[in-house]
Amino acid sequence: MQMKPTSRKARAAQQQEMKHGLIPRSIALFLVLCAAIIFTFLLINFDVVKDFFGNIATAIGPVFYGIIFAYLLNPICRFIENRFLKLAKNSKDPERTAKNIRGLSAILTVLLAIAVLALLCVIIVPAVWESIAKIAMDLPNLIQSFINRTEKFLKGNPMLSNALNSATANLETLSGDEILSQANVWMGYLANGIVGVFNFAYNVIIGLIISVYLLMGKERFLRQGAKLLYATMKQHRAEWILRRLRNANHTFSSAILGKMLDSFIIGMLCFIGVVIMDMPYPSLIAVIVGVTNMLPFFGPFIGAIPSTLLVLMHSTEKAIYFAIFILILQQFDCNILDPKIVGGSIGLPAFWDLFACLLGGGLFGLFGMLIGVPAFAVFYQLVKELVEEKLRRRQLSDHLLKRLGIKPGIDPNDLFFDVDEPPEPIDTE
């Protein structure tokens, strides 16, 4: 039989406890009800909410550009800053000198990036535009010449000849009247493209200015992020997250920056080879091959196919030589240049590499193909380490851990995320 409290003090304490227990429940119920109402409102006005957040994203678009530019330019800024610090190592006020050098390095880095972009535009854009204009002028003659050469080559094969005649008839149905009927649609696309170019230029200019401030105050922003982590979670969990963020930064910087340098070198080698072999449109072909080389797996094919078709419209023999040259160039890139520049920093097996490329391309197009592999590599490594941490703490046999490809034993210096306290260090004294 349960004893009831007899004293007035005990009954008051029990009533106070019940009162404090009911208040959090009522607040929780109220918050759940508010969340349900807000969620219903968002679903009903989904288009309005979508436009609202779209306007916010458009307004702060230059900030995202600035973050991207600062991330890409940070290695160059660090290189310049280290050189200046060596020259000013005997300064009387090291802290102030370092601050001034940081600002000067950030400004010089952005100016250098602008100068390089301007130089590339001055050199490459006119040559590429000239190639495109020449193709547009010569396209009817090139198509007719290609058809004549192909008919002569396929004269002994009636089946292929009929297929070619059918394709030619379909091309000829595209008459001038049909082209004129689509003029309004094309003009709309052109107007949207011009507006997009101006918006892009605005975002780039403001983004470069923002990147200067980000490069100058990157340590402050990193410290603020670290403070937030240490304030909201235990120390060993914050350190676990910071270590994984450093690994992710290494993976992304090696993949993106390394691939950019690799693609630039491949584009230059392609330009030199095409000029030596006297191929048509060398600037346009080099740009196509260099830019598409940024895309993993499918990039070489995406760049090689249209480039080979451009050469094929001029000469079948040159197209064969060009295809052989591209094959040799890509083998050199895959087996020598790319491993030297990018290295094994991605750390993905071949299957998951292809899977990440297909997934990123399917979700976000060419941009997804570019960042899909390093992003999935970070996720893959994170899941792998979490699983291995759990298996090591389950006291499995060393033989089983070795069969699973896991190093037995727990390193006392390792950091674990899902434990209440970090492992005790070993006393080495």
Predicted confidence at residue 169, as pLDDT, reads 57
Q: Which residue has the higher pLDDT, 379 or 254?
A: 379
Cα–Cα dist 88/83, whole Å? 9
Maximum average pLDDT range among 8-17, 285-294, 349-358: 285-294
pTM over 0.85: no
pLDDT digits (tens, 9 = 90+) for 218-262: 888 888 888 988 888 888 888 888 888 888 888 777 777 778 888
pLDDT digits (tens, 9 = 90+) for 108-162: 988 988 888 888 778 777 777 777 777 777 767 766 676 676 666 666 666 666 6
Q: How many CB atoms lie within 10 A of CB 79?
A: 11
pLDDT digits (tens, 9 = 90+) for 230-240: 888 888 888 88
Q: Which residue has the higher pLDDT, 413 or 362?
A: 362
Share above pLDDT 90 across residues of the chain, in percent, rounded to a whole number: 0
Predicted confidence at residue 175, as pLDDT, reads 46
